[in-house]
Structures are given as structure tokens and as C-alpha cells.
Chain A
């Protein structure tokens, strides 16, 4: 055994678009222990419920994270609607599901690009982000915003999509499928990718469960934890099966995300075929009185918004448990034993979203 040294990783690091800091304890080139420290982007936005009314707070909830933005606002308004007992118009739930899957597509493409970049595969990064622009174009055309949409509100959504645009979106996605196939083919079948990812950073199924892994990190280890199975929004009327891989290594987590993009396209297609006519919002009066755990599936996994109101315009508490926050303990576990040079790849394989995690 050689002497142990501690190497700081981050907060400003070439592979990380966001500040995450890890103290890596090394023996030679192998990581033996990891101490995470967070708080670089902690804003304390949960405390803003004291200053913003629950209807205004949707905008703050959406800005917890710029990547999972739409699903955060969806989770928050679903929680409020649940407490107030509102039956949201069906068309609005379908539209939320469509936009939710669009943001999952854009997030996964973003991640595939960054992941490839962390391995020095710059052309794949560029290609993934080029495809992502098609998704963002559709989001912008239908909501008005590229990454922060601001389209959810308590009681429905702010904008409707015309049937012609829905058809056009569907055609656009079908046209993309061929290019997406080419892209995922690189991740799943390229020999240098396999060489870098197979057997690296393995998270066993039992560990993943006990440590509280969620999202693709859990599904890559053989756990079928996908909150979309609970059928929130319009998902109850959609045929859907979570993507699960069993190896628990970086390759498996990567494969889950690559395959999930096609699931998302499938869900959007079913939604567009089934979407009913009708209004997209309803009048909301009063204020929430009660508490609720609102759960949805983000691109990175299960998110929980705990909402507690006491009948006043300002909520008592809004607490967000984001997928990255609960994926920190699994990350600490799976980093032990990897080479220092593999750390960037392993860290990115859980798709850390620090903006979410620290709020």
C-alpha cells in the first residue's frame, strides 16, 4: 500500500459545466474514498415561499434548474392542484406530458453530448447538440421559451398547440429518428466507447436500491424505478414500459438514456394521437390548505416536491428533493475503486445536475 493523497476535483473543471467539488483520496491512481462538498450554487429558493404567492412561485419552481425546468413547474403545480382538489382539463394534462417528454429528449441529448465530450469525442458532442436544436425549436415554437418555458400554471397551461403544429411536431420527430439511431449507435456499438465504459463504475442492484438511486442511475442497475409508471399527467392513458439495463456500469447507464429517447418519442406520438379537444386551463380561486408529496420522473430520476399550505396565499413550506441530491450517495459508492482518469466519465454517468441538487 502506498501513501494516500487527496486531490481536489472542481469546482471549476473542464468537464463540468457546473461547480461540483469532490475531494478524491487516492492510492497511486486509484480512488479509495470520496468526500463530496456542495453549496456552490445554493441560493435558498425554498425560502422564497414566504415572499411569493403560490401562483407566482411557479416561476421560481421552474428556475430550480434550467434543464429540467418544465418538469419542475409541472411537479409543483400538480402538487398544488392535488391539495386544492382541482380537476385540470384533460387537454392540459396531455400538453404537459408532451412538453415533459420534449424536455426529457433535450436533456438526454444534452447529456449524451457532454458525456461524449468528457471522453474526448468532440464530434459526437457537436452532433448531439445539433439534433437537440430541433427539439428546442419545437419547444420554442409552442411555448415561447427554449430552456425556460414558463407555460405551466396552477389549473392548466398557458398555451395551446394547434392540430397542424402537433402533426408537424410528430413529422419532425419521425424524421429525427433516423439521425438519433445513428447517434445512439455510436454510444452502444462503438468499440472505443465500449472500452471506456464497460465495467467502469459498477453499482450493484442491491446497493442502488438501499442507497436510494433513482432515474437512469437506478435503471442501469436493473431497478425498474420510473415514476412515469404511476401515470401522472396523461401517462395513465399511455402504453409505456421503463427501459432497464442490468450491468450497472457506465455503459448501462448510457444505454438507458440512449434508449429512453425512443420511449419519449413513442409517448409523444401516442399523446398526439389521443389528445382530446377542449379548454387548456381553468379558473382557480382560494389557496391550498394541506400537504402533499408530488412526484414525477425527471430526466435524472424521481423528483419530490413537498408542499404544505395553510390556506393563505403564501405556502408554509416547499421542499424539493431532486434526483441528483439522492444520487450523491450512490456516486460516492461507485467512485471507489475507479482510476483517477475515469473520474470525469463516472461523475458524468449519473448526469449530475448541481443547480437542481443545491437549489
Chain B
């Protein structure tokens, strides 16, 4: 059994300052991930140092603009573009902004909608 993982809730305004602090403390960015729960979106920022995780969670509504942490961590652009393309959330100030062309999907913002596919379990009609 491994140690329990703690995810600290923070406000949207603290995202960049916490990222800056993490960078100063020698953490590397592990991932940014999003989960839709009801009408809310949970975004979890995960950092790692010597195999110890540091996680922050923000909970936002769809219309909130999330600040990009790509000024602190260059590599954050892949995750932030992904959140934009799959969830339709707005992230401002990404260093390499694909403006919705990172993933091309059949349905726009697939993780933000409930997909009901036509009755047939096999689509190959």
C-alpha cells in the first residue's frame, strides 16, 4: 500500500502563483487533468519531486477563464490545449495556442457533452 494522496483545493487566482512556487521548490510538472462533475469542472495540477506528488485542485464553471501556467512550465501547453479542445474551457495566455486544432474530433468538446449514440451497438452500418 502506498501513501495516501492529498489534493489541495485552491482558487483560480492562485494557479499561476502556486505553479511559480512549485517551480522554485524544484518540482516538475507531471500533468494537468480535467474532470466534469455535474456542471462543474475540476482541474487538477500535479507536480512531482523525488517521487512525492504535490497536487492542487481548482473547481470552476464553464465560463471561467483559466490562466495558463505555460509561462512557468513551457510544457504545460499540451495539457492546456487538450483541456480547451476536449472540454471547451478557455485557457488564456498559452505559449503555443493551437486555438482548438490540437485534437480534431468528430464532436466538438466531447467530454463536455453527453453523447448518445444511435441504438445500434455496432456503428458499422
Contacts and interface: CB of A to CB of B under 8 A. Distances in A.
Interface stretch (B9-17, B58-66, B103-111): B103-111
Contact of A304 (B30, B34, B36, B101): B30
Contact of A325 (B37, B78, B96, B101): B78
A229 B52 CA distance: 12
B96 to A, nearest CB: 7
Nearest to A328: B78
A302 B33 CA distance: 16
Interface in B5-46: 5, 7, 23, 28-31, 33-37, 44, 46
B115 A47 contact: yes
A6 interface: no
A interface bracket (residues with beta carbon within 8 Å of B): 35 or more
Given A82-B1, A329-B78, A230 B51 contact: yes
A262 interface: no
- The binding surface of chain A is classed by DSSP as mixed
Q: What bracket does the count of chain B residues touching chain A fall in?
A: 20 to 34
Interface string A35-69: 10111001010110000000000000000000000
A333 B28 CA distance: 17
B37 A210 contact: no
A146 interface: no
Interface stretch (A101-109, A122-130, A266-274, A316-324): A316-324
Contact of B74 (A37, A210, A230): A210
A47 B111 contact: yes
A292 B5 contact: yes
B16 to A, nearest CB: 16
A327 B89 CA distance: 24
Given A82-B1, A308-B35, A210 B73 contact: yes
Contact of B51 (A37, A227, A316): A227
Max chain A Cβ within 10 angstroms of own Cβ: one of B34, B35, B37: B35
Interface of B: 1-2, 5, 7, 23, 28-31, 33-37, 44, 46, 51, 53, 55, 73-75, 77-78, 96, 98, 101-105, 110-111, 115
Given A326-B78, A333-B74, 18 more contacts: A37-B98, A38-B103, A42-B105, A47-B111, A82-B1, A210-B75, A211-B74, A211-B75, A212-B73, A212-B75, A291-B7, A293-B55, A302-B30, A306-B33, A316-B35, A317-B36, A319-B33, A330-B75
13 contacts: A39-B102, A39-B104, A210-B73, A211-B74, A212-B28, A212-B73, A227-B51, A230-B2, A291-B7, A293-B5, A304-B31, A306-B33, A317-B36
Interface of A: 35, 37-39, 42, 44, 46-47, 82, 85, 87, 209-212, 227, 229-230, 232, 291-293, 302, 304, 306, 308, 316-317, 319, 321, 325-326, 328-330, 333, 358
